[in-house]
Amino acid sequence: MSTQVPSSLVTQPDAHSDKESPRWLGPLVLLGPSGLWLGLLLVIPTLLIFELSLVPGIRPGDIVNPSGLDNYGLIFQPVYFRVIGRSLFFAFGTTFFALLLGFPVAYWIALIAPKQWRNLLLLSFVLPLWTSSLLRSYAWITILRPTGVLNSFLQLIGIPPLDLLNRSPAVLIGMSYSMLPYIVLVLYASLEKLDRRLLEAAADLGANPLQVFWKVTIPQSLPGIVAGALLVFITSLGDFVDPELLGGASSMTLARLIYNQFIGATQNWGFGSALSMILIFLVSLAIALLIKYGDRSQVV
Residues of this chain, 244-263, that bind other proteins according to CB under 8 A: 244-245, 247-250, 252, 255, 257-260, 262-263
**Footprint on residues 157-176 left by other proteins (CB under 8 A):** 163, 165-166
Over the window 8 to 47, marking each residue x when it contacts other proteins by CB under 8 A and - when it does not, the resulting string is xxx-xx--xxx-------xx-xxx-xxx-xx--xxxxxxx
Which of 56, 91, 164, 269 lies at the binding interface for other proteins (CB under 8 A)? 269
- Picking from 209, 232, 233, 229, the residue whose alpha carbon sits closest to that of residue 221 is 229
The C-alpha atoms of residue 120 and residue 52 are separated, in whole angstroms, by 47
Per-residue DSSP letter, 145: S
Q: How far is CA 2 from the centre of its chain?
A: 20
Q: Which is nearer to other proteins, 131 or 155 (CB)?
A: 131
Least separation in angstroms between CB 25 and other proteins: 9
- Picking from 73, 58, 72, 64, the residue whose alpha carbon sits closest to that of residue 269 is 58
The C-alpha atoms of residue 180 and residue 95 are separated, in whole angstroms, by 9
Amino acid at 93: G
Least separation in angstroms between CB 158 and other proteins: 20
Q: Which is nearer to other proteins, 10 or 158 (CB)?
A: 10
- Picking from 179, 173, 199, the residue whose alpha carbon sits closest to that of residue 110 is 199
Which of 56, 90, 91, 177 lies at the binding interface for other proteins (CB under 8 A)? 177
Which of 20, 76, 132, 296 lies at the binding interface for other proteins (CB under 8 A)? 132
Which of 94, 140, 179, 217 lies at the binding interface for other proteins (CB under 8 A)? 140
Q: Which is nearer to other proteins, 105 or 216 (CB)?
A: 105
Least separation in angstroms between CB 236 and other proteins: 12
Which residues, 6 or more positions from 51, have their beta carbon under 8 angstroms from its beta carbon?
Answer: 64, 66, 273
The C-alpha atoms of residue 114 and residue 121 are separated, in whole angstroms, by 10
CA distances from 158 to 151, 152, 153, 163, 294 (A): 10, 10, 9, 15, 44
- Applying CB under 8 A, does 154 fall inside the site for other proteins? no
Number of residues that bind other proteins (CB under 8 A): 150
Q: Is 182 left (phi over 0), alpha (psi -120 to 50) or beta?
A: alpha
**Footprint on residues 216-245 left by other proteins (CB under 8 A):** 221-228, 230-231, 234-235, 238, 244-245
Amino acid at 62: D
Q: Which is nearer to other proteins, 132 or 158 (CB)?
A: 132
Which of 154, 159, 193, 219 lies at the binding interface for other proteins (CB under 8 A)? 193
- Applying CB under 8 A, does 112 fall inside the site for other proteins? yes
**Footprint on residues 50-79 left by other proteins (CB under 8 A):** 50-52, 54, 58-67, 79
